[in-house]
Structure 1
Amino acid sequence: MKIAVAGGTGTVGRHVVDVAAARGHATVVLSRSCGVDLRHGAGLAAALTGVDVVVDATGVSTQAAERSREFFRAVTTHLLRAEREAGVGHHVVLSIVGVDRAPHGYYAGKALQEELVRAGGVPWTLLRTTQFHEFARQVLGQVRVGPLDLVPVMRSQPVAAREVAERLVDLAEAPPAGPARDLAGPQELRLVDMVRAYARATGRRGPVLAVPLPGAFGRALRDGTLIPGGDVDHGRQSFAQWLTTAPAR
């Protein structure tokens, strides 16, 4: 099988490439570093020649709803159009638990992405997961006030990016299935505790303070909206286990 990975150099995408190759699949990375501009569609037609499945693990660094929608609208539209023209038979997309219940900020773009995939004319499978263990690293240092690192008050159930990749390849190897079972980590944690633990493990000094965000999205972070229900699959690696091998910033 030939699998193309959109965002194949990112947090999850690089693992998808590794897992697929280890299972004997031919892989194609769809990223600017490999000559494909997903936002404008340049290079997509050639890259999808002979591809059986596209796994979309793209992302954008923003919390602005409009910028997120703009990114995912462009990328998803170009991907689906190119897949239809190339005869790709399966589109597997990575999304986030709770986007339908809290379509705000970054999640607004992911909610739009899901809508486009459902209506895009390419047989699809959608996997929603919780935040990755690497989320703690991404959040640390984003907002600083003097010596303080500020992070949102948030309930999370982090999952290993490698295990997400394994599930995505499992789904790519199977027929299109529509919505797949959600995948979450083995335990619920507070984001501030994750960030503090990551800071200690990597030698980062200074206090980390949790601050409640205003508005509907802030409430969703705090009230468990982004925590999956009972009928989900759970990853094996805990956040504490991941910390033993977590790289510094």
Structure 2
Amino acid sequence: MRLAVAGGTGTVGRLVVEAARSRGHDVVVLSRAAGVDVTSGSRVDEALAGVDAVVDVTSTATRSAAASEAFFRSVTTALLDAGQRSGVGHHLVLSIVGAAQAPHGYYAGKALQEGLVTGGPVPWTLLRTTQFHEFARQVLGQARIGPVDLVPVMRSAPVAAAEVADRIVDLLEAGPAGRVRDLAGPEELRMVDMVRAYARATGRHGRVVAVPLPGGFGRALRDGTVLPGPDTDRGTQTFSTWLDRLG
């Protein structure tokens, strides 16, 4: 198959590209470096010519609901419209467990994205996963007061990005399937423990303190709303194994 990966230079996107190519698929990476801007729609039609399936694993670094919604509205609309014009037969979108139940902050954009895809003109697959192991690295240093790193009080079941990438390629090869089973990691952890372990493993010094976020989103992070349900598929790589492999 000829596949187009939007967000193909990101954490999971790079792995999707590698996994797809290793299975013999022809992969087009949609990125500004390749002259394609999925936020504005520039050259997206050209890039999707002859493409069988589109994978959207884009993301944006924001905690603002308005900014997240604006980003995912632009990207998803551009990909769906160009995909329809180009005759793309499958649009796969990667979302987050709990996005629809806690549409706040960044999750607001993901919830909007899900609605656009499931109500859109291109046959689709929706895969929701929990946070990747790499999320601990992203959280560390985002909020700091002097030598103290602040992280949100959060329960998570982190999953290996490589296992997500393999599942995505499996789903692409199977064809449009609607909403499929969620994918999560094998264990539940506290985010503060993950960040502390990552800091130790990478030689980062200083205190890491958990702080409850206010409002509905903070409550969802604490009460298990963003945790996987009983029908979720589980990956096998633990967070500690991922840390060991960093070395």
> If the TM-score is normalised by the length of the shorter chain, which range does it land in?
over 0.9
Determine if the alignment matches structure 1 residue 216 to structure 2 residue 178. no
Q: Deviations over 1:161-192 (max 9, x none)?
A: 01001001111111211001000000000000
1:14 pairs with 2:14: yes
Give the AA of the match of 1:38: V
Per-residue deviation, 1:244: 1.2
1:145 matched residue in structure 2:
145
Q: Could you tell me how far apart the structure 1 residues matched to 2:110 and 2:33 are? A: 23
- Give the Cα separation in 2 of the matches to 1:22 and 1:198: 30
Deviations 1:58-81 (A, max 9, x none): 000001000000000000000000
Q: Calculate the aligned-residue CA RMSD, in Å.
A: 0.7
Which residue of structure 1 aligns with residue 131 of structure 2?
131
Q: Does 1:4 align with 2:10?
A: no
CA drift of 1:246 comes to 2.6
Q: How far apart in 2 are the matches of 1:41 and 1:101?
A: 29
TM-score for both structures, normalised by structure 2: 0.99
Q: Deviation per CA, 1:74-108: give whole Å up to 9, x if none.
A: 00000000000000000000000001110000000
- Cα displacement string for residues 23-75 of structure 1 (whole angstroms, at most 9, x for unaligned residues): 00000001111111011000111111110000100000001000000000000
Q: Which residue number corresponds to residue 179 of structure 2? A: 179
Distance 1:118 1:185 in 2: 25
- Equivalent residue, structure 1, for 2:122: 122
2:33 and 2:163 map into 1 onto residues whose CA distance is: 25
Runs of at least 5 residues in structure 1 that lack an aligned partner in the other structure: none
Aligned residue in 2 for 1:29: 29
Q: Specify the alignment match of 2:107 in structure 1.
A: 107
Letter in 2 for 1:67: A
- Quick one: which amino acid aligns to residue 222 of structure 1? R
Q: Alignment partner of 1:242: what SS?
A: helix
**Partner of 1:141: helix, strand, or coil?**
coil
Q: Which amino acid aligns with 2:51?
A: V
Aligned to 1:81: 81
Tell me the CA shift for residue 113 of structure 1: 0.2
Structure 2: unaligned runs, 5 residues or longer: none
2 CA distance for matches of 1:246 and 1:92? 29
CA deviations 1:104-137 (Å, max 9, x no partner) are: 0000000000000011110000000000000000
Task: Tell me by how many angstroms 1:245 deviates.
Answer: 2.2
Q: Structure 1 length as normaliser, TM-score?
A: 0.98
User: Structure 2 matches for 1:30-69, cutoff 5 A?
Assistant: 30-69=30-69
**1:28 and 1:158 mapped to 2: Cα distance?**
28
- Number of matched pairs: 247
Which amino acid is the alignment partner of residue 38 of structure 2? Answer: L
Spell out structure 1 runs of 4+ moving beyond 2 A. Answer: none
% of aligned pairs identical? 69
Q: Look up the match of 1:236.
A: 236
Supply the distance in 2 between the matched residues of 1:121 and 1:88 (Cα, whole angstroms): 10
Q: Which amino acid aligns with 1:126?
A: L
